[in-house]
Amino acid sequence: MILKVKNISQIGGVVKAPPSKSYSHRAVILASLAEGTSKLYDMLYSEDTLASIRVCKALGAQITQTDDCLEVVGTGGKLHNSSTEPIDLANSGTTLRLMTSVSALSDNEVILTGDDSLKTRPMGLLMDTLYSLGVQTESLNDNDKAPILIKPGYIGGEANIYGNVSSQFISSILISSPLSENGVSLYVLPEFKSRPYVNMTLDIMRKFGVKALRAYYLKHANCDKEFQSCKIDEFIVKKQPYLACDYTVEGDYSSASYLLALVAINGGKAKIMNLFRNSKQGDKVILDILQEMGVKIIRADNHVIIGSDGNLKAIDVDLSNAPDLLITVAVLAAMAEGTTNITGVAHARVKETDRIDTTCRELEKLGCKVVEREDGMSITGGVTSGVVDSHGDHRLAMAFSLIGLKHDIEITNGEVFDVSFPNFIESMAELGFELELVE
């Protein structure tokens, strides 16, 4: 389907940010591992998070959606896969990565698979690290990608992992480690990208009763020889149970970036609710980025007020800790005056698409001057009307729709926003930007 602009009225107003996708994934997984019954409030029900709910049910958690919460009767860490059939995770890379480690806690084999896009996600680094912790996995196509068979048994111990591929690999091991036989000491070798996502994982683990110790070394025996200097993070998680709790999911800065960028590009004033000042989300940096581009931002305890005259200026920005903002910032740059340099996002090449490549190619279709680099891009402001393709990437579809504020644009395969922001069209309409899907 094609996503395009239906109508634009005065941009501004009040809207609630959607619940965090990252926290929603983690909340249902931890609740499913916990002893007792948890109530999860303000959960995001998107295609990705529904994949996490589906696999947790398949491994023994009792999950019921009520009018006001998601009720989860946990397994106490005793997972059981009642079927020999592969569990379909659709397009959810987060679910695949987090649940590969967790599935080793099952008393029988688990096969995780998904759609064609999911089967392109590299998983070898996680599988190799799990092997050193006594977990046996197998890529059934022998290419270190899904479908992946995970055998029962999780001994634990010590392991090294590189931190520059996917923070979800680190979160996956941390989430599963307290239920391993011996606990885990995980050494994260440089460079440690997307660190805030791991901080989010540790934060919600604490909410469900699990404590992790953290140390930092300038040099450590676990450092590989090729590094002359080696800064290592160590995470120590002892064997311990997860405990059920009532948990409210905070708003998502990643998804809110489209609401904020809407006002920034067009001009106007809006209040975005459910965005917390003390959030551990790395994508909170979108507020600093917008301020540097000339937008006025007021941070309150539980909301953000944004004001803009629609005149944006180019900046230099390192998104190594917030790769999900790449396409939003790229579109902001395309609508700004001057040349913006985006760096630090080489790991964005292994998302739903190679986001560096697809973003550059689609901006070029709109007449934008772009220089692609291995870890980012330079974008000189200025675009024209045109047609672009989402490549099945929800973030590209949502971000590129914003160009429709000032130019005619159509996004083919535009319906994919359901992956992370099911109410995207409705939320944008609350601020005066009406989009529609047409055949």
* CA pair distance 415, 430, nearest whole angstrom: 19
Closest CA to 193 of 351, 344, 353: 344
The Cα 172–Cα 299 span in angstroms is 32
Asked if omega into 85 is within 30° of 0 (cis), the reply is no
Residues 6 or more apart from 391 whose CB is under 8 A from it?
A: 352, 353, 358, 362, 413
What contacts 317, CB < 8 A, 6 or more positions away? Answer: 289, 292, 329, 340, 341, 342, 343
Active site residue 324: yes
Q: Give the pairing type, strands 376-380 and 339-343.
A: antiparallel
Residues 293 and 287: their CA atoms lie apart, in Å, by 10
Q: Which value, in Å, is the radius of gyration of the alpha carbons in the chain?
A: 21
Annotated active-site residue in 48, 324, 389, 393:
324
How far apart are the C-alpha atoms of 328 and 262, rounded to whole Å?
A: 10
Dist. CA 112–CA 328, nearest whole Å = 31
Residues acting as catalytic residues? 324
